[in-house]
Chain A
């Protein structure tokens, strides 16, 4: 009937058609007046974590600005990034946002190839005249969550489900531990790595393992609400990550780290529109936005900074601060929020004296960690327990 070769050819064709259809970057030609921005995501927009948060922001700016048209491509593999960028530029994108650390080198190459196009790379360190960088940093919010976890834990054992042992995740675990031990010197943070940005089953079993090891309060870096769902089921508490996850675990979610990428995209896009940013002055444009700029916020969800269920307990727990005196953990959180949101930031979790868990002094008395120290963090602070790939020897 059909020859084997023909069948093979038909099957291959089928695969190609299906993959093109479902990966799908649909782009339309831009009109003169509108500015066209393309967003390239590493994950699916339905992951309810990282890529989802970026896409929420994309939709927001798209609605907000009449002169803006946006397109996005999801689930882009690092290897396919450069070709994807070429494609969106060919389709008329004026601005391209690439939103994964792994997209750094492909973005640099693409920026060289397309000097007229403006590029912004999220979480990277390489810039060019037409390539800026931006990031919403969460270590302050992790620290605030740590304050809550330290006050609320009954076993003094906190847990952290980490994606990959990158400087970013290490920084967040450290900030969480510093917060917890500020109000509870006995607290320890047990860490489990799942070596995936998105893997609900791994997150579930890692959480179960932590709970079995005595943990009763959990923070995490993984792009699904799994850790909180398990916490809810097992009577533990936890903190939302990136997207508001309160609805998945109404009792277990105390607070969390929320990101509003839209404030960043608004600022960038408006400055491009007004001609402040052009394709030859971005060499030094590096956004590193936190609480002060409104890029980061604490919350179980948008309108619940702290789950009312736990407010009472946080108000009961008293602590002594060398500068602020005796106050409740709840007051301490408000105070720290105020200090970190002030025009001239008055506090950061990484202020000396600070020691690594190996006993090395990292920051002197009153010394603030520099941007580079934060950005390249490899060490673990005291109170962090468990494996720590890449830990400096001393």
Chain B
């Protein structure tokens, strides 16, 4: 009995946690390069509507994921253009992208609202691993491939960021773009690349929502998940592996807030992740010499300016 409870909770944890994880991994890269992108919600929902429209018209859910990634990536370039090329305020440009995404997806999705999807993303069971008692059934049985993608990408992105020269370049652009520039790095290209990658991941997260998690398109269906991603990025202190724990932790608490509702006020559990994000910021600032975020986060870079 208790085991099946736990298995159910773990299974929900990875399911709800996955769109958050994908989005967070992308946003970590964008912010590591020095660009705060508050447009996650907008990119995510553009991904969701593109994925649903593609899956519905072509019948191919894999193509739908490609469309979601493309929609997220392309829309992120809007933010890139304003915040990197025009050096506009990143907060405002990101907010504009969110509003733009929510509006455009509503307009574009009008014809798709209320349609069932006959061909959602298939679920996959990992042989052998699924045989493991408890964890196997919870994590590896009948799961969306994107859940596995999130789990696999996390260590890869961690390695890339902290153990390769590309990672060093990204981080140095986010810490001190002037020095990076002087060292011969193309700040402009690295920032655009990271923002684009963030958009691709946010788009995928949206695609997961509309063709796997709940195969349907309804307007505003991301219902604030993009904002949770922004909070999780801080909670994870810009580290992909901590991003995985954060996203899953949030997913677990979200599920438990309903599972434990008869005994525990749901508000307490739903508040916990945000409280955690604030706490993480406080702890980082108290115990780490350096500030929590990348030093040059939100600072537009212009060659020759201090």
The chain A residues found within 8 Å of chain B, CB to CB, are 2, 4, 7-8, 10-12, 14-15, 18-19, 21-23, 43-48, 52, 75, 190, 192-196, 198-202, 204-206, 208-210, 212-213, 224-226, 229, 243, 247-248, 385-387
Say whether B114 faces chain A, with CB atoms less than 8 Å apart: yes
A14 and B114: CB pair below 8 A?
no
Known contacts: A10-B88, A52-B114, A386-B262. The answer to whether A201 contacts B213 by CB under 8 A is yes
Give the chain B neighbours of A212 by CB distance below 8 A: 4-5, 8-9, 259
Known contacts: A18-B100, A46-B114, A200-B223. The answer to whether A7 contacts B88 by CB under 8 A is yes
In the complex, the chain B residue whose C-beta lies closest to that of A224 is: B218
A-B contact count (CB 8 A): 141
Binding site for A on B (CB under 8 A): 4-5, 8-9, 12, 16, 82, 86-89, 92-93, 95-96, 99-100, 102-104, 106-107, 109-110, 113-114, 116, 209, 213-221, 223, 225, 254-255, 258-259, 261-262, 265-266
Tell me the nearest residue of chain A to B302, going by C-beta: A1
Assembled-state Cα–Cα distance A225/B8 (Å)? 22
| Inter-subunit contact B254/A205 (CB<8 Å) | yes
A11 touches B223 (CB 8 A): no
Measured between C-beta atoms, what is the minimum distance from B298 to chain A in Å? 13
CB-CB under 8 A from A202, the residues of chain B are 223, 254, 258
> Which residue of chain B is the closest to A210 with respect to CB atoms?
B258
Known interface pairs A21-B103, A209-B261; A196-B223 also in contact (CB < 8 Å): yes
User: With A11-B93, A198-B220 in contact, do A192 and B258 touch (Cβ < 8 Å)?
Assistant: yes
Q: Which of B103, B116, B214, B261 interacts with A201 by CB under 8 Å?
A: B214
Residues of B within 8 A of A206 (CB): 258
Question: Separation in Å of the B250 CB from the closest CB of chain A?
Answer: 12
Q: How far is the CA of A22 from the CA of B99 in the complex (A)?
A: 9
Chain B min CB distance to A57 (Å): 15
B213: chain A residues at CB < 8 Å are 201, 204
Of A15, A193, A199, the residue contacting B96 (CB under 8 A) is A15
User: How far does the Cβ of B282 sit from chain A's closest Cβ, in whole Å?
Assistant: 27
- Complex CA gap A380/B38 in Å reads 43
In the bound complex, what is the Cα–Cα distance between A45 and B109 (angstroms)? 11
The answer, among A12, A193, A196, for a CB contact under 8 Å with B261, is A193
Within the complex, what minimum Cβ distance (angstroms) separates B256 from chain A? 8
What is the interface of chain A mostly: helix, strand, loop, or mixed?
helix
Cross-chain contact A229 with B99 (CB below 8 angstroms)? no
In the complex, which residues of chain B have a beta carbon less than 8 angstroms from the beta carbon of A196?
A: 223
A202 to B209 CA separation, bound complex (whole angstroms): 13
Most A CB atoms within 10 A — which of B4, B219, B262? Answer: B219
In the complex, the chain B residue whose C-beta lies closest to that of A10 is: B88
Q: Which residues of B contact A11 (CB under 8 A)?
A: 82, 88-89, 92-93, 96
Interfacial chain A residues near B104, Cβ < 8 Å: 22
Output the nearest chain A residue to B19 by Cβ-Cβ distance: A201
Residues in chain B near residue A209, CB distance under 8 A: 12, 255, 258-259, 261
The answer to whether A15 and B114 touch (CB under 8 A), given A200-B223, A205-B12, is no
Task: Tell me the bound Cα distance from A323 to B194 in angstroms.
Answer: 72
8 shortest A-B CB distances, which residue pairs?
A: A22-B103, A46-B113, A46-B219, A44-B219, A209-B258, A209-B259, A206-B258, A7-B88
* 7 other A-B residue contacts (CB within 8 Å) besides A22-B103, A205-B12: A8-B92, A15-B96, A47-B113, A192-B258, A201-B225, A205-B254, A248-B116
Smallest CB separation, A18 vs chain B (Å): 5
Complex Cα–Cα for A41 and B89 (A): 33
- Whole-angstrom distance between the alpha carbons of A124 and B233 in the complex? 42
A213 touches B87 (CB 8 A): no
Q: How far is the CB of A190 from chain B (nearest CB, A)?
A: 8
* A52-B114, A201-B214, A225-B216 known; A15+B223 contact, CB < 8 A: no
Q: Are A46 and B255 in contact (CB under 8 A)?
A: no
- Cα-based distance from A386 to B261 in the complex (angstroms): 7
Give the residue name and chain of the B residue nearest to A250 (CB). B116
CA distance A116 to B268 in the complex (A): 49
Contacting A7 at CB < 8 Å: which of B87, B109, B220, B221?
Answer: B87
Chain A positions within 8 Å of B262 at CB level = 190, 385-387
In the bound complex, do residue B214 and residue A8 qualify as a contact, i.e. CB atoms below 8 Å apart?
Answer: no
Residues of A with C-beta under 8 A to B214: 200-201, 204, 226, 229
**Which chain B residue has the least Cβ–Cβ distance from A247?**
B116
Residue of B nearest to A203 (CB): B214
B205 to chain A, nearest CB (A): 12
B217: chain A residues within 8 A (beta carbon) = 46
